[in-house]
Structure 1
Amino acid sequence: MSVITVVYNAGSLFRETLQSVAQQTHPDIEYVVIDGGSTDGTIELIEANLTNIDFFVSEKDKGIYDAMNKGIRASNGEWLIFLNAGDTFASADTVEKCMQALGEDTEIVYGSAALNGPTIDRVLKPKQFNLGNLIFWGTRTLCHQSIFVNRSIVAEYDDSLRLKGELDWYFKLLKKVKTKPIRKNLVVCRYLLGGVGEQRLMQNAAETLKVLFANAGIFGVLGIPVLLYKILATRFLR
């Protein structure tokens, strides 16, 4: 079981993530940390905690999805999950509970996410992980940090995308998965709001449309209503 964290100049946030992984009761966790060349003390924090880290590299990258691809290549676990700086597992036995849900042919296990931000603190319950929901709801189908993926179907991210690589990744997973993903009735992670996607709203929307039409063709139009609502809500309803 591999947990992958990508981090860049986020030492204070990474400390919480590191502690969360170290506290997991599951006996077989490989922790992979990909740093983008931090200069704020993050590297020193990592080096001081190498007893809890199985693989670590610090070097410049082409962006978050390039860093995630490095994490995939560096990891060895049969299962993997991404937990980025500032995100934590919901409890110490989260990984153990999710791994107990596996069947012989299971390829994906996912659950809920607690969204934590300055004005929002609520649980996002995932929808069924299927093509229709991905087209209509996009990344609101489930939280990226709440999905465990078997290595047999893992795909690399499109690092030409800056903000919606995870949505494209979801479509890639669905094209490869052979068994129905398992939705667990538990909170998997605590997800820190305020990422770059929320800060670059129009670029986020443009990339969403690009990914939808590339993967769903003309049916990508079905995702436009939710996308428009998100833009309006962010701009005018907060």
Structure 2
Amino acid sequence: MRFSIIVVCLNAGEKLYSTLDSILKQTNKDYEVVIKDGLSTDDSVSKLQSKLLDGTLGELVPSSKDSSQDKLKERIHIYSEKDKSIYDAMNQAVRYAEGEYYIFLNCGDLFASETVLEDMAKAMDKEADIYYGDMIRSGCDQVIASYPEITDFVCYRNIPCHQVCFYSKKMFEERGYDLSFPIRADYEHFLWCKYEKKASFAYTGTVVCIYEGNGFSETKDNEKAALLEHKTITNRYLGKKCILYRFIMIITLQKLRKKMAESKAWAGLYQKLKGFIYGKRKA
């Protein structure tokens, strides 16, 4: 099996169904869906399980009507068990995954088109450990292009989010997400892959997902803690280079640029300027 699409949830409601609907629309069918539920109490998962078993999943997930019941039952795997956090849930899900490459979608995130898996499969010709692409941030309607090379500065500043990354399963064989970083564990794991596992990366240019935004690490309550974790992680993997990178971020008005990138009014112009500066293709 080529792909394991991992979705963790806890009382996600309709967002779970919309994400699953996006997945089942994929033209490339060489995948499984691993849904890891943290014992939801809103009936979203129990309803999904019931509809999957009795053959009426199409009432919740319209695209499922295009697949036979046997195929749906083979493809969709639901596991419910208590977890300590979103990253603990992702670690649990990995233990059930059987694909060659893993991608993690949060409830509310969508594949950007029906051919994402097909396009990624075609691009996987370099035997890279991590393939990645671009995203569209919901509400901005602009492609946010990832950097074509994963340099030290990119690792400090802005790595691709996990919703656009396809991880080789061997990136999780030795260890999963470090739960001592409750907010930035995905960031720490990415840097661990690069600096400890010496992972190889391949940028594909594929627009992978429509990212809902306002994720766990982006909430106002977690903002301060996220910054502290970022400092700890970058000091661990980048050392003294962080001093230079912090200075560069200040003099290049990083906070203003972040607001522009997330603004519907300014995002288009910002991405064009970014593409011009970094020599990226226009998406």
TM-score of the superposed pair, with normalisation by structure 1:
0.87
Q: Of the candidates 49, 52, 72, which is equivalent to residue 49 of structure 1?
A: 52
**1:124-158 Cα shifts (integer Å, max 9, x gaps):** 10013424134431xx3212100111112334101
Corresponding residue of 1:18: 20
* 2:177 is the alignment partner of 1:157: yes
Q: Which runs of structure 2 are paired with 1:1-238 in the superposition (5 Å)?
A: 1-47=3-49, 48-49=51-52, 51=72, 53-103=75-125, 105-117=127-139, 120-137=140-157, 140-154=158-172, 155-175=175-195, 176-179=197-200, 181-199=201-219, 200-224=222-246, 226=249, 229-230=254-255
Q: Distance in 1 between matches of 2:199 and 2:27?
A: 30
Report the residue type matching 2:44 in the other structure: T
Report which stretch shifted further, 98-107 or 66-75: 98-107
Task: Give the secondary structure class of the aligned counterpart of 1:201.
Answer: helix
Offset at 1:223?
A: 4.5
For the 8 Å contact 1:144–1:166, the answer to whether it is kept is yes
Q: Distance in 2 between matches of 1:89 and 1:105?
A: 23
**1:56-97 Cα shifts (integer Å, max 9, x gaps):** 112221101101111111101111111110001111110111
What root-mean-square deviation, in Å, do the aligned CA atoms of Structure 1 and Structure 2 show? 2.4
Label 1:219 to 1:196 Cα distance change in 2 as closer, same or farther (>3 A). same
Label 1:173 to 1:45 Cα distance change in 2 as closer, same or farther (>3 A). farther
Structure 2 spans left out of the alignment, 5+ residues: 54-71, 264-283
Offset at 1:232?
A: 10
Q: Distance in 2 between matches of 1:132 and 1:232?
A: 20
Q: Percent identity, aligned pairs only?
A: 30
Offset at 1:54?
A: 3.1
Label 1:232 to 1:110 Cα distance change in 2 as closer, same or farther (>3 A). closer
Q: Distance in 2 between matches of 1:171 and 1:94?
A: 25
**1:136-183 Cα shifts (integer Å, max 9, x gaps):** 31xx3212100111112334101121111111011122132454x221
TM-score of the superposed pair, with normalisation by structure 2:
0.74
Q: Distance in 2 between matches of 1:223 and 1:68?
A: 30
Q: Distance in 1 between matches of 2:149 and 2:52?
A: 36
Label 1:135 to 1:109 Cα distance change in 2 as closer, same or farther (>3 A). closer
**1:212-236 Cα shifts (integer Å, max 9, x gaps):** 11222222334435489449967xx
**1:165-220 Cα shifts (integer Å, max 9, x gaps):** 111011122132454x2211221001001123221211111111111112222223
Label 1:2 to 1:57 Cα distance change in 2 as closer, same or farther (>3 A). same
Label 1:135 to 1:188 Cα distance change in 2 as closer, same or farther (>3 A). closer
Label 1:135 to 1:97 Cα distance change in 2 as closer, same or farther (>3 A). closer
Task: Give the secondary structure class of the aligned counterpart of 1:9.
Answer: coil
Q: Distance in 2 between matches of 1:165 and 1:90?
A: 25
